[in-house]
Chain A
Amino acid sequence: MKHEIINKQGATIIELKGEVDLENSPAARELLLKSIKDASRVLVDLSSVTYIDSSGVASLVEALQAAKKHNTVFALAAASEPTRRVLELARLDKVFTIYETVDAGLTD
């Protein structure tokens, strides 16, 4: 897994890339939790995620819960097909705010 962080229009955009599985979900978790502490608005760009497993999904859930505590706005954007399918199987596609594109997440 690789990642990129961009600050744009007052939001922190975290772009996750590659496979977010058991091997690297701890890194993803750490990255997300840290951003939530530091930013008022966090957008996770999932467009380049080729695979995510339940541990990766759990990191996203944990980040969402932490964001609520910190009053940070937390949302997902541009979910790739594999990500979308796993969120759907995990019945979490309605739990997260998921924007069609990163830009849509920024302007909302």
Chain B
Amino acid sequence: MSGIPPGGDRRDPRRIDRRKHPALSGHLELLSRMSGHLAVTLNIEETIQKALDLIVQFVKAEAGSLFLLENNDTRLNCKASVGPVDINGLILQADEGIVGQCVTGNRSRMVRDVSEDPDFDQSIDESTGFHTRSILCAPMNVQDTRVGAIELINKQGSDGLFSEPDLLMLQTLAAAAALAIHNARMAEELVEQERVSREIELAIEMQRSLLPRARAASFPVSGINLPAYEVSGDFYDYFELEDGRIYFSLGDVSGKGMDAALLMSKTASLFRCLGKTMHEPGALLATINKELCETAINGMFVTMVCGIFDPVSGEVRLANTGHEPPLVRAPEGTFRALPASAPPLGILPLAAGGEGILDETFRLGGGTLYIFTDGVTEGEIGNGRRMEVEGLMNIINEHSDRLVADQISAVVKRLQQTGKQRHDDITLLVVDDLASKPAGKTPPLLTRLTFRAEADELHRVREAVRQACERCGCTPELTQDLVIAIGEASQNIVRHAYKDVETGEATLEILHEKGILEFRLLDSAPPVDREKVKPVWPEVIKPGGLGVCMIHDIMDKVEFLEAPSGTGNLLRMVKYLENDADET
């Protein structure tokens, strides 16, 4: 007899009936004990063994085993066994034997005489020497997920037959065990997920540490990298060489996953390490290419732009391997693209004795160099439209009178305004030829003060500077420095500008707009020798020379402009303000 459905024959005399079976309290006690065990443990092995021990003992079976499905549900593995023969670790095909039929058919089996059941597999008895007479087997599942089965063998005592209440009991316990196993597996998965997410956090931290730290607004190179997901396949970097030139690079690794992030880390590290000694961008990229080719991962490559900028002359030496052409914006507003001169890195080793990777040398002439990844130009800006190179040029033009950091913010803001999940990293690097920039639009006037070029007027000049700085929200330290700088500049007018002529007047104008504080000192004295007002630290300490050096130390930009009336001297001093939120 086999295959009695759950519920069984209603006339079965051994069916659980509260009045006829006071032993019901024993069932409840077992259920309660097992539920307790199953609820507290998240260790699968321990859970299973305890459950099986209790079931076997309660149902009075000679042996019992618990099988779990594994290997994509293709096989059953015995994870716990009770009885004279230990079959722990026994592997069966998912549909093998009575237990297999029970699991695949998702139905309980009660086989009172295995010799009459075609599904019974003799081989196990033959190999173990155990004699199986009867089997009670119940599947374990949680909702639609099959977990395995519990099998009890050879009912002990009385008639040696498993009963319907035995089956009901086994089914109930199997359901509880299945749930416990499922929970334990979920807990293990959660722990694993937690571990993986911690690993990813560390990777993110590691990648962030590869990016250069932000510099003052007056530093000519700045950039941004916003990963679309956790880690980035893009990078940028810059650092100063001993001679004052700045090495910079930006790269984009094919792909977007952890593999791209690791290749990004490798390439960025190679740039920073090799850049210290190799001051030819083309040769440096050729070396990185060789290194990447030697350890290539199939199909992965890196597009990269790398160059050296001389902030004094405005000269750039640049090489581009397969990257989207960077743009140079001239002060007049025209753009020029710089196409790649070599294929991406990591694909083909360069032929020995060949030309290597060519670099190009040009002067920015007060212009600005923009290097970006396709995450910028292919980024969506609404209505399914991409930014494209034209869109980027438009944003740059709209913000051309702004600091580079503000331009970068404007580009990022446009790319983020759709609020959608981006699919590519945004990376942008800007090199601004600040030193050669022509005097731009004049910011709004904050204060104008005209004073006699006499020593007793200097206190009044300094007070005007102090008040203006405070109105602009400068820190006390910055205010103090700016008072020193303008104090020195005004003092120089009093001491030197009018030394050979009758003393006249001078005018200080303080202008302010977001991020920029500008001071203009105008006198009507004969033109000063501009060589003398260059910062040269004196061998012999003289106050005039000291003052000029202090001004240059404090200000981001110091220059003489043509005086409006054609006579006199106009000294322009600029301080870039960080975190300057409000216009005065």
Cβ of B484 under 8 Å from chain A: yes
Residue contact A22 to B480, C-beta cutoff 8 Å: no
Cβ of A15 under 8 Å from chain B: no
Residue contact B547 to A23, C-beta cutoff 8 Å: no
The distance in angstroms between the C-alpha atoms of A82 and B549, with both chains bound, is 17
The distance in angstroms between the C-alpha atoms of A25 and B542, with both chains bound, is 13
Q: Which residues of A contact B554 (CB under 8 A)?
A: 89
Cβ of B332 under 8 Å from chain A: no
The distance in angstroms between the C-alpha atoms of A55 and B458, with both chains bound, is 12
Q: Which residue of A lies closest to B537 (CB)?
A: A91
Residues 79 to 108 of chain A near chain B (Cβ within 8 Å): 81-82, 85-86, 89-92
Max chain B Cβ within 10 angstroms of own Cβ: one of A51, A54, A89: A54
Q: Which residue of B lies closest to A52 (CB)?
A: B484
Residue contact B546 to A21, C-beta cutoff 8 Å: no
Residue contact B543 to A23, C-beta cutoff 8 Å: no
The distance in angstroms between the C-alpha atoms of A57 and B488, with both chains bound, is 12
Residue contact A89 to B553, C-beta cutoff 8 Å: yes
Residue contact A21 to B487, C-beta cutoff 8 Å: yes
Q: Which residues of A contact B543 (CB under 8 A)?
A: 25, 53-55, 57-58
Residues 10 to 61 of chain A near chain B (Cβ within 8 Å): 19, 21-23, 25, 51, 53-55, 57-58, 61
The smallest beta-carbon distance between A22 and chain B, in angstroms, is 4
Q: Which residues of B contact A90 (CB under 8 A)?
A: 541, 546, 549-550
Question: Which of A23, A61, A81, A86 touches B459 (beta carbons < 8 Å)?
Answer: A23
Residue contact A85 to B553, C-beta cutoff 8 Å: no
Say whether chain A's binding surface is mostly helix, strand, loop, or mixed.
Answer: helix
Residue contact B491 to A54, C-beta cutoff 8 Å: yes
Cβ of B455 under 8 Å from chain A: yes
Q: Which residue of A lies closest to B457 (CB)?
A: A23
Q: Which residue of A lies closest to B547 (CB)?
A: A54
Cβ of B462 under 8 Å from chain A: yes
How many residues of B sit at the interface, in one of the four size bands?
20 to 34
Q: Which residue of B lies closest to A58 (CB)?
A: B543
Q: Which residues of A contact B537 (CB under 8 A)?
A: 91
Q: Which residues of B contact A53 (CB under 8 A)?
A: 458, 484, 487-488, 491, 543, 547
Q: Which residues of B contact A19 (CB under 8 A)?
A: 459
Residue contact B550 to A51, C-beta cutoff 8 Å: no
The distance in angstroms between the C-alpha atoms of A61 and B543, with both chains bound, is 10
The distance in angstroms between the C-alpha atoms of A81 and B481, with both chains bound, is 11
The distance in angstroms between the C-alpha atoms of A22 and B495, with both chains bound, is 9
Cβ of B242 under 8 Å from chain A: no
Cβ of B494 under 8 Å from chain A: yes
B471-498 vs A, CB cutoff 8 Å, 1 = contact: the mask equals 0000000001101100110010011000
Q: Which residue of A lies closest to B554 (CB)?
A: A89
The distance in angstroms between the C-alpha atoms of A59 and B320, with both chains bound, is 56
The distance in angstroms between the C-alpha atoms of A85 and B477, with both chains bound, is 9
Assuming A21-B455, A23-B459, A61-B541, is B484 touching A55 (CB within 8 A)?
Answer: no
Residues 449 to 472 of chain B near chain A (Cβ within 8 Å): 455-456, 458-459, 462
Residue contact A54 to B544, C-beta cutoff 8 Å: yes
The distance in angstroms between the C-alpha atoms of A100 and B566, with both chains bound, is 51
Question: Which of A22, A57, A91 touches B455 (beta carbons < 8 Å)?
Answer: A22
Residue contact B553 to A23, C-beta cutoff 8 Å: no
The smallest beta-carbon distance between A37 and chain B, in angstroms, is 21
The distance in angstroms between the C-alpha atoms of A61 and B456, with both chains bound, is 23
Q: Which residues of A contact B487 (CB under 8 A)?
A: 21, 51, 53
The smallest beta-carbon distance between A68 and chain B, in angstroms, is 14
The distance in angstroms between the C-alpha atoms of A98 and B484, with both chains bound, is 21
Q: Which residues of B contact A54 (CB under 8 A)?
A: 488, 491, 543-544, 546-547, 550
Residues 491 to 510 of chain B near chain A (Cβ within 8 Å): 491, 494-495
The distance in angstroms between the C-alpha atoms of A57 and B494, with both chains bound, is 17
The distance in angstroms between the C-alpha atoms of A53 and B489, with both chains bound, is 11
Assuming A54-B547, A89-B554, is B459 touching A21 (CB within 8 A)?
Answer: yes
The smallest beta-carbon distance between A96 and chain B, in angstroms, is 11
Residue contact B458 to A86, C-beta cutoff 8 Å: no
Residues 525 to 548 of chain B near chain A (Cβ within 8 Å): 537, 541-544, 546-547
The smallest beta-carbon distance between A7 and chain B, in angstroms, is 29
Residue contact B458 to A21, C-beta cutoff 8 Å: yes
The distance in angstroms between the C-alpha atoms of A81 and B479, with both chains bound, is 13
Q: Which residue of B lies closest to A82 (CB)?
A: B480
The distance in angstroms between the C-alpha atoms of A85 and B485, with both chains bound, is 12
The distance in angstroms between the C-alpha atoms of A91 and B456, with both chains bound, is 27
The distance in angstroms between the C-alpha atoms of A55 and B487, with both chains bound, is 11
Max chain B Cβ within 10 angstroms of own Cβ: one of A55, A58, A82, A92: A55
* 29 residue pairs bridging A and B, Cβ less than 8 Å apart: A21-B459, A21-B491, A22-B458, A22-B495, A23-B459, A51-B462, A53-B484, A53-B487, A53-B491, A53-B543, A53-B547, A54-B488, A54-B491, A54-B543, A54-B546, A54-B550, A55-B543, A57-B543, A58-B541, A58-B546, A61-B541, A85-B480, A85-B484, A86-B550, A89-B549, A89-B553, A89-B554, A90-B546, A90-B549
Please name 10 further chain A to chain B contacts, defined as beta carbons within 8 Å, in addition to the given A22-B458, A58-B542, sorted by A numbering: A21-B487, A22-B495, A51-B462, A53-B458, A54-B544, A55-B491, A81-B480, A85-B480, A89-B481, A90-B550
The 4 A-B pairs with the shortest beta carbon distances in the complex, nearest first, are A58-B543, A23-B455, A54-B543, A54-B547
The residues of B with any CB-CB pair to A shorter than 8 Å are 455-456, 458-459, 462, 480-481, 483-484, 487-488, 491, 494-495, 537, 541-544, 546-547, 549-550, 553-554
